[in-house]
Structure 1
Amino acid sequence: MAFEFNQNLILEDDLVLLRPLQLDDIEHLVSFSENETAIWKFSSLPVIGRTNFTEYIRLAVENRSKQTEFPFIVFDKRTSEYAGSTRFYDIQLANETLQLGYTWYGERFHGTGLNKHCKFLLLSYAFEEMGMARVEFRANNLNKHSIAAMISIGCTVEGVLRSNMKNIDGTRRDSIILSILKDEWFERVKPHLTLQLL
């Protein structure tokens, strides 16, 4: 598949703008790492504190150059504030699949509809521009808030990978897998999500 990301890719609607994450975006986002530790409860990577957060951003940007990930910074147009980050990852162009995740927002952006707008833009791009056949989502199986959010946009629960990765504290986690297939996007998920954005 001959797809290449535009390194200046912008996805936006009336309420949200997503642009490629850059190293200097640390200054826009680091306060979430330093002051809102609750949002990182289920993070699989160390993110709390400037040093950890800087490495987190650096790795995301580095992986974009390898075409295995494409991280975005999220800007809320309603409040004119940077709200968080999200990304495509595990991009497998030959298999026409990718994962959508590493999504987080500052606490004041939870429940505002911002996430649904972001997901609509990202899923539209994945299926309609990239030609993906499948978009996968994963989460810690204990992260009920995240799981509910994914189900609410129309994801199908596929199952749980038992003890498939380590938590930061060395314990192991179960990961739930959800997905949307291309035909589901056009027939069911896109119309459903469009109504939720009105």
Structure 2
Amino acid sequence: MLKKEKLNDRAQIVGYSVPNWTTRPFPDKKTHTGQYCILQKIDKKVHFDDLYRFFGPESNSETWTYLSLNHFKNRDTFWNYLTKIEHEKQSIYYAIVDKSTQKVLGSFALVAIDQENGSLEIGYVIYSDSMKKTKIATEAQFLLMTYVFDQLGYRRYVWMCDDCNEASKHAATRLGFSFEGIFRNMWVYKNRNRDTAWFSITDYEWPSIKNRMEKWLNKSNFDNEGIQKNKLTDM
């Protein structure tokens, strides 16, 4: 249900009340388990080889077009990168593990974590080709959303991307994010301008989005070949 502004005792429009608000906990859960995948806090000793397959020199070059990162040219530099993010204090990075094969197929991170106001962002979304457009890709996002809203009580969950990245914008709207606008000339990266498209899900939108995603992820929505019977956007 959409919450609306109200009038104060001076007949001024103000935001709706948020009673008994307290600072939100920092996300620190190391493992999230779903029907099809497991999210594990990145551990280079466990996840290195699988991650290197789609972070290293054999990765799909199209993966890196809209990221500030580039593929890693050798194992040493990637090891150093994983060491850095593994000990990151302001963000938390997850490996996305296929539950049936125990192989890492993707990774992402919770970043821009604002505990005081209950807002954070899903970022550094990097999927192997075999994970893209699969139910694992959807469930991985669902698991983090559930953790952020239902367990930690955050109010705002953000997705932002290069405005030129049509695939990312489509993914955001498919998952239920609402488009908020464009920050023009926000960044310079890879010697080019980035206008940033902003999307979000808020706490009052989450219950209906959660219900829709649960219906889509239910095993009854897939045939024997694993093909969806109904699209998420049609739920």
* TM-score, normalised via structure 1 length: 0.89
**1:44 maps to 2:68:** yes
**Corresponding residue for residue 58 of structure 1:** 83
Query: Which of the two has higher C-alpha Rg?
Result: 2
1:82-161 pair list within 5 angstroms: 82-161=104-183
Deviations 1:25-70 (A, max 9, x none): 332211212212221221112333235534442332232xx2x211
1:4 to partner: Cα distance: 4.2
* Deviates further, 53-62 or 81-90: 53-62
**DSSP 3-state at the match of 1:175:** strand
**C-alpha distance in 2 between matches for 1:149 and 1:191:** 18
**C-alpha distance in 1 between matches for 2:26 and 2:195:** 33
Unaligned runs of 5+ in 2: 1-22, 219-235
**Corresponding residue for residue 191 of structure 1:** 211
**Corresponding residue for residue 191 of structure 2:** 170
**Corresponding residue for residue 19 of structure 2:** none
User: In the alignment, is the contact (CA less than 8 A) between 1:23 and 1:61 conserved in 2?
Assistant: yes
**C-alpha distance in 2 between matches for 1:2 and 1:161:** 27
**C-alpha distance in 2 between matches for 1:42 and 1:115:** 18
**C-alpha distance in 2 between matches for 1:137 and 1:152:** 12
Please tell me the residue identity of whatever aligns with 2:135. G
Deviations 1:88-145 (A, max 9, x none): 0011101111001211111011122211101110000000111100011111111111
Please tell me the residue identity of whatever aligns with 2:115. L
Assess, with a 3 A threshold, how the Cα gap between structure 1 residues 42 and 53 changes in structure 2: closer, same or farther: farther
**DSSP 3-state at the match of 1:109:** coil
**C-alpha distance in 1 between matches for 2:182 and 2:206:** 22
**C-alpha distance in 2 between matches for 1:85 and 1:99:** 14
**C-alpha distance in 2 between matches for 1:2 and 1:127:** 10
**DSSP 3-state at the match of 2:130:** helix
Aligned residues: 192
**C-alpha distance in 1 between matches for 2:191 and 2:79:** 22
Assess, with a 3 A threshold, how the Cα gap between structure 1 residues 56 and 196 changes in structure 2: closer, same or farther: farther
**C-alpha distance in 1 between matches for 2:79 and 2:105:** 17
1:191 to partner: Cα distance: 1.2
**DSSP 3-state at the match of 2:205:** helix
* TM-score, normalised via structure 2 length: 0.76
What percent of counterpart residues are identical?
Answer: 22
Please tell me the residue identity of whatever aligns with 1:35. E
Unaligned runs of 5+ in 1: none
**DSSP 3-state at the match of 1:35:** coil
User: In the alignment, is the contact (CA less than 8 A) between 2:109 and 2:122 conserved in 1?
Assistant: yes
